[in-house]
Structure 1
């Protein structure tokens, strides 16, 4: 696309406020974002659906009511209308004056945890599509440093399944220092982050125990899980106490105490989700008598996304696209997402 071919208006999805699906509005009169000096303009071809999109829409992050000042990923108020979408694959069609024109036409993935906006470094990282506009639109802008070129034979839809889930999984594994000597227990293993964590843990040489429902056992074994246990199974009877070095938790909820019981002394528990319930029972004696590390994982370490791109290009991970929908059918996509009958990612198509 030549610079002269870039329109002034674009299509996209506005999130108008916190609430139900009626807060999502497809528009064709959205201004194309202005390009900053240190930014690139990306023509979006595909964008994945994430828990964060739904959580932000309903105000789940708030510890008060949905319209509180902390109803976002970073704990600050959302400015509406907002264009969501953290999983972005597309091509660079324009660059700011401080960015090399050699970047034009690069196929890129956007790092969803961003540290630079409009040339300014942030004190606290933002989540793409939450604190700033994201990829549920024809065009989007981001600091050049956060648009990572990717060399792959995969389709744009397949590549759009990677950024959020796989970088979140890689961050969990990085923070919990997973090596080939570890056995890793993964909850919510059939979801986007969980299925990514299986592959990325196996790429590190670790043994993987994955938790899922009966209908998805074979799928997770095909991904590389060494053992699969069921959600309703008695994990302590099956595996025994002090049986794993690392827990990667995406669920929390009522079974949280069992996860700490499964950990060996000096084990590491890393969490980045609470779909089973945000409030848990913690016996502090288990924590300190077993010398456990409890790790909350939101902000990516600097090397995480770079390492993920290398994994993609080397073929260490494979995309798991459960379904794709046209962008204007975002409500159907989000409803399918909430049913949790899929394995992997649901992706929105823009081309």
Structure 2
């Protein structure tokens, strides 16, 4: 089978298109013929060596959608999707023509989603789902999502709207504000961190109950915009991993910080998440993804380089 593979880390030149034997599923596993695979920034970082536990050589890739060709009889021939912490790091991932994983690690693909659309959602939507769950976003929660135009931010505002939360989307550019408003979301344009509190309080008197910072740069400013007993969920940090946290202000508000890391969840846990929010696409509660850049697997090296350079398109590799 054709696959992308790297045998060392440090630069993207390590990634190659190779021919590998088609994997054989073990007992309790499935063999999935991959129809589409998402390319996430974490896949690029994996090749660059940002995940020291990755074993080599390795086929990268976490998100996929495809058809089960071997495994339990009730799954053979089914269209499925999946993601999780093992694949691409501790066992070969989805940037190939086939993948093996636990039979409990795949979920039936929503019929409303194409293979490419399903493959674009794994990491962003499981991350957003986990953030909303663990920061206790329910009906009526006043939620601020910083970076609401990104993949995870978009997932968060879509899922929060279904939960009945009061959503305030924060983005950098005026045209992004207009686009969100056209979709029915309340939105603000981010300025300086010290001004965030006034912007949020103009919408949510007393502050936001939950602030989800998808960028990693707004933690200090978010504390001042937080309501008493509020929660701040974070998924990223500056390159050096350090921020200046106004701890006095945080504890005076009774606030808490919730770290969100999708790599804490294996394929079986992720499959349960996919089952829960996947039905929201079939009943039209959540809009279908659009604007995907579909690319042959053989052109994956170029797509990796574009994502590494900050390309805005959501890339889908097609074996």
Q: TM-score, normalised by structure 1?
A: 0.81
1:191 maps to 150
User: Equivalent residue for 1:336?
Assistant: 306
Q: Does structure 2 conserve the Cα–Cα contact (< 8 Å) formed by 1:16 and 1:80?
A: yes
2:6 to 12, 15, 18: 15
Cα distance in 1 for residues equivalent to 2:179 and 2:306: 19
Distance 2:47 2:115 in 1: 26
Partner of 1:82: 58
Structure 2 residue runs of 5 or longer lacking an equivalent are none
Match of 2:32 in 1: 42
Q: Any gaps of 5 or more consecutive residues in structure 1?
A: 1-9, 62-70, 72-76, 114-125
Shift of 1:275: 5.8
Aligned 1:285-300 pairs, distance under 5 A? 285-298=248-261, 299-300=264-265
Shift of 1:260: 1.3
The offset of 1:283, in angstroms, is: 2.1
- With 263-272 and 331-340 compared, the bigger mean Cα shift is at 331-340
Q: Which moved more, 1:151-160 or 1:35-44?
A: 151-160
Structure 1 residue 232: deviation in Å? 4.9
**Contact 2:132–2:160 under 8 Å retained in 1:** yes
Is residue 11–residue 26 contact of structure 1 (8 Å, CA) maintained in 2? yes
1:235 is matched with which residue? Answer: 196
1:7 aligns to what? Answer: none
Alignment correspondent of 1:304: 273
**CA deviation after TM superposition for structure 1 residue 231, in Å:** 5.4
Deviations 1:42-84 (A, max 9, x none): 00011111121122222234xxxxxxxxx2xxxxx22111111
The equivalent residue for 2:68 is 92
| TM-superposed deviation, 1:41 | 0.3
| Residues 1:107 and 2:76 are matched in the alignment | no
Instruction: Tell me the equivalent position of 2:17.
Output: 26
The answer to whether the Cα contact below 8 Å between 1:252 and 1:277 also exists between their aligned partners in 2 is: no
Give the C-alpha shift of residue 180 in structure 1: 1.8
**Alignment partner, residue 320 of structure 1:** 290
Give the secondary-structure state (helix, strand or coil) at the position aligned to 2:230. Answer: strand
- Check if 1:221 corresponds to 2:181: yes
Partners of 1:275 and 1:283 in 2: CA distance = 16
Greater RCO between the two (CA within 8 Å, min separation 6)? 2
- Structure 2 contact 293–316 (Cα < 8 Å) conserved: yes
Q: Deviations over 1:171-196 (max 9, x none)?
A: 11111110121121112222211111
Matches within 5 A, 1:244-263: 244-253=208-217, 255-263=218-226
Distance in 2 (CA, whole Å) between partners of 1:86 and 1:171 is: 17
1:147, distance to aligned residue in structure 2 (A): 0.7
From 139, 149, 152, the equivalent of 2:108 is 149
Contact persistence 2:46–2:60 (CA under 8 A):
no
1:180 maps to: 139
User: Does the CA contact (< 8 Å) of 1:15 and 1:23 recur in 2?
Assistant: yes
Give the distance between the partners of 1:334 and 1:212, measured in 2 at CA. 25
Asked if the contact 1:321–1:347 (Cα under 8 Å) also holds between the matched residues in 2, the reply is: no
Equivalent-residue separation in structure 2 for 1:158 and 1:38 (angstroms): 27
Q: 1:54 aligned to 2:44?
A: yes
Q: TM-score, normalised by structure 2?
A: 0.88
